[in-house]
Amino acid sequence: MSQKAQIGVTGLAVMGRNLARNFARHGHTVALHNRSYGRTKELVEEFGHEGTFLPAETAEQFVASLERPRRVVIMVKAGPATDAVIDEFAPLLEEGDMLIDAGNAHYADTRRREAALKAKGLHFVGAGVSGGEEGALHGPSIMPGGPKESYEALGPLLEDIAAKVDGEPCCVHVGPDGAGHFVKMVHNGIEYADMQLIAEAYDLLRQVGGLSPEEIAGTFSEWNEGRLGSYLIEITAEVLKQVDAATGKPFVDIVVDRAEQKGTGRWTVQAALDLGVPVSGIAESVFARAISGGVQEREAAVSAGLPGPSAGADHVGGDLRADVEQALFASKIVAYAQGFQQIQAASKEYGWDIDPGAMAKIWRAGCIIRAKFLDFIKQAYDKNNELPTLLVDQYFLDAVAGAQDAWRRVVVTAAQQGIPAPGFSSALAYYDSLRAQRLPAALIQGQRDFFGAHTYQRVDKPGSFHTLWAAEGRPEVDA
Ligand code: NBP
């Protein structure tokens, strides 16, 4: 074969097909492969005119059609399918060639695969790709991990097809091995939290404020023009505006109220538990989806008539809409602060050296959590790469300071009216925990020492101590 492709894509379902078209539309010659040839054929028949494609029926033909170092993008169902594809292609590749897993792999799998392929002289790049089907075609946010040196040969192609903000690509080398997939996972976790907070804002405006879905859509459209401006707020307005053609009812009223999940939110929380990072906003959003799906428990509670508050107190002290906007903004800041803290903790744990500001930068377009707000996060980390929490950056500190009275009023109203607002209230509890001079954790240390001799530290001198609780006079000893 004379003509060679700069990049190849194997796995041509919706995501792979669109990524391949995106590369081709940017002038790259793209080799195509799929387990079953039908998808490859279809792509060329439907979109062959968009660029130069080199379709291959076999893995051998596909590999032979690629220029060196070979760049093979794998876009298959995450899990065993990815391992099957790696096992098929790795023996056909040569030293320095790259396998780029652009699926939603778990970062631990990416670490395992990277180590195994490194031993064979191959570069394995776990790349997070956000933006769904549309993003893949028109410009996703791309979070590639893997060896730094592979980015030299791969980065320019990925940057070409990535979303752009003021001409800057939403793609950067995140860090070694699983760093890219880790960051993509946390991105999804933050997305869960953001969606939950927006849902709580809607619920309060409707149940407390008595606004109709259409009116709330208008409110979200207004908010979208301000500091909350983001893709998720924009689509929320669209969803709330939608009227069901069959019944004439608001669309949101004809949808079953059980939120599903594919698992990346759960992974984020699991990883956070292992790292000991309190991502309470993400956790609450994962649990809120689980509660919504707990049909048996919900039905049992409703039929048992679990009582709510005796009288719904009015929202007092402020305008509900304005207050909810403040609560939403403050809670969102907390959720992002927690997500970024998790990225920083993992970066330290695994030696990834992730630049948090660069993550905020590449999420500004192409992905689901794209938002105006990310500019401020980028600026905060540009000023101080080692910020212990975003909440101490001046912009966010001022924003939360300005929002907190309203935020507290909203949480009070939700509690008094019996409306669940786990995102708003846990974010506030997190904020209050961080700013507390003393936490009741001291008492917990006392309990631990009492029943398990787990020891404690004193505020007034160094060392570890244990109280002999059973002994007369309960003397303290060095531990
Ligand atoms: P799917 O996740 O539905 O996977 C379908 C593809 O996997 C087909 O090409 C299929 O080949 C191939 N495949 C399977 Br299944 N088992 C295989 C095996 N054992 N060996 C080789 N190929 C195999 O496709 P998708 O929705 O395009 O998503 C692709 C990846 O992108 C996933 O990891 C997904 O999580 C991720 N992602 C998806 C989105 C989204 O919005 N959909 C967004 C971001 C990331 P076949 O045609 O022969 O069956």
Across all residues in the chain, what is the average pLDDT? 97
Provide the pLDDT confidence category of residue 316 given band limits of 50, 70 and 90. Answer: confident
What is the pLDDT at residue 262? 87
Average pLDDT, stretch 193-206?
98
What is the pLDDT at residue 365? 94
CB within 8 Å of 99: residues ≥ 6 apart? 72, 74, 86, 89, 90, 93, 117, 122, 123, 124, 125
Residue 426: pLDDT over 70: yes
Give how far Cα 354 sits from Cα of 281, 372, 389, Å: 22, 22, 15
- 28's tokens: 């790259």
Residue 2: pLDDT over 80: no
Residue pointed to by tokens 């439907």:
46
Residue 311: pLDDT over 80: no
> For 54-92, how does the pLDDT look when each residue is reduced to its tens digit (9 = 90+)?
999 999 999 999 999 999 999 999 999 999 999 999 999
Residue 419: CB atoms within 10 A of its CB come to 17
Task: Provide the b/e sequence for 329-350 (b: ≥16 CB within 10 Å).
Answer: bbbbbbbbbbbbbbbbbbbeeb
> In 3-state terms, what secondary structure has residue 393?
coil
How far is it, in rounded angstroms, from Cα 377 to Cα 371? Answer: 10
How far is it, in rounded angstroms, from Cα 28 to Cα 8? Answer: 10
Max distance between CA atoms of the chain, in angstroms, equals 90
What is the pLDDT at residue 1? 53
Backbone angles phi, psi at 77, to 5 degrees: -55, 125
Q: Note if the pTM is more than 0.85.
A: yes
How far is it, in rounded angstroms, from Cα 453 to Cα 74? Answer: 52
Closest residue (by CA) to atom 31 of ligand 1?
A: 103
Q: Is any atom of ligand 1 closer than 6 Å to the C-beta of 34?
A: yes
AA identity, residue 450? F
Provide the pLDDT confidence category of residue 314 given band limits of 50, 70 and 90. Answer: confident
Give how far Cα 90 sits from Cα of 57, 78, 97, 122, Å: 17, 17, 9, 8
Average pLDDT, stretch 251-269?
95
Query: Residue 73: which of 11, 150, 133, 117 has the closest Cα?
Result: 11
CB within 8 Å of 100: residues ≥ 6 apart? 71, 72, 73, 74, 124, 125, 127, 144, 146, 154
Backbone angles phi, psi at 52, to 5 degrees: -105, 115
Residue 320: pLDDT over 80: yes
Closest residue (by CA) to atom 2 of ligand 1?
A: 77
AA identity, residue 231? Y
What is the pLDDT at residue 21? 98
How far is it, in rounded angstroms, from Cα 40 to Cα 75? Answer: 13
> For 351-360, how does the pLDDT look when each residue is reduced to its tens digit (9 = 90+)?
999 999 999 9
In the reported structure, the alpha carbon of residue 251 is separated from the centroid of ligand 1 by a whole-number distance in angstroms of: 30
What is the pLDDT at residue 424? 98
> For 102-136, how does the pLDDT look when each residue is reduced to its tens digit (9 = 90+)?
999 999 999 999 999 999 999 999 999 999 999 99
> For 364-386, how does the pLDDT look when each residue is reduced to its tens digit (9 = 90+)?
999 999 998 999 999 999 999 99
**Among all residues, which ones are annotated catalytic?**
184, 191
Share of the chain above pLDDT 70, in %: 100
> In 3-state terms, what secondary structure has residue 229?
coil
Q: Is any atom of ligand 1 closer than 6 Å to the C-beta of 366?
A: no
Closest residue (by CA) to atom 12 of ligand 1?
A: 76
Average pLDDT, stretch 28-53?
98
Average pLDDT, stretch 145-152?
95
